[in-house]
């Protein structure tokens, strides 16, 4: 059985052709996940679990960075 990448031919995978870039909902979903992670961090900090709160803030920062990266790629896709 051939893999999906083998079926693509010599081009390979391009993130610019993915649904996350072509649709505006991809970056919005990741942004919402980052907001949820910030909320979890606030709850954990309020309950005295500072270490877990900081770890969730790191996760939120990563998801926020990915959402902004997808947003910039989506804007470039729309302008082309």
Say if 15 falls within a structural domain: no
Q: What is the pLDDT of residue 1?
A: 45
Query: Is the residue at 13 inside a domain?
Result: no
Report CA dihedral (13, 15, 18, 23) to the nearest 10 degrees: -170
Tens place of pLDDT per residue across the chain (80 aa) = 455 555 556 677 777 777 778 888 989 999 999 999 999 999 999 999 999 999 999 999 999 999 999 999 999 888 88
52 is a domain residue: yes
Residue 47 within any structural domain of the chain: yes
Q: Which of 72, 70, 76 is nearest to 19 (CA)?
A: 70
Residue 7 is assigned to a structural domain of this protein: no
**pTM for this one?**
0.78
| Nearest one of 11, 2, 21 to 78, comparing CA atoms | 21
Specify the DSSP class assigned to residue 62.
H
pLDDT at 23: 85
- Give me the number of domains the chain comprises: 1
Q: Are 74 and 21 in contact (CB under 8 A)?
A: yes
- 67 inside domain: yes
The reply to whether 68 falls in a domain is yes
- Residues of the domain holding 80: 41-80
Residue 50 lies inside a defined structural domain of this protein: yes
């Amino acid at each position: 059985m051939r893999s999906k990448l083998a079926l693509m031919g010599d081009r390979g995978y391009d993130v610019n052709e993915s649904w996350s870039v072509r649709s505006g909902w991809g970056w919005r979903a990741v942004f919402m996940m980052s907001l949820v992670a910030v909320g979890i961090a606030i709850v954990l900090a309020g309950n005295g679990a500072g270490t877990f709160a900081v770890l969730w803030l790191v996760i939120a920062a990563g998801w926020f960075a990915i959402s902004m990266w997808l947003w910039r790629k989506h804007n470039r896709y729309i302008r082309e």
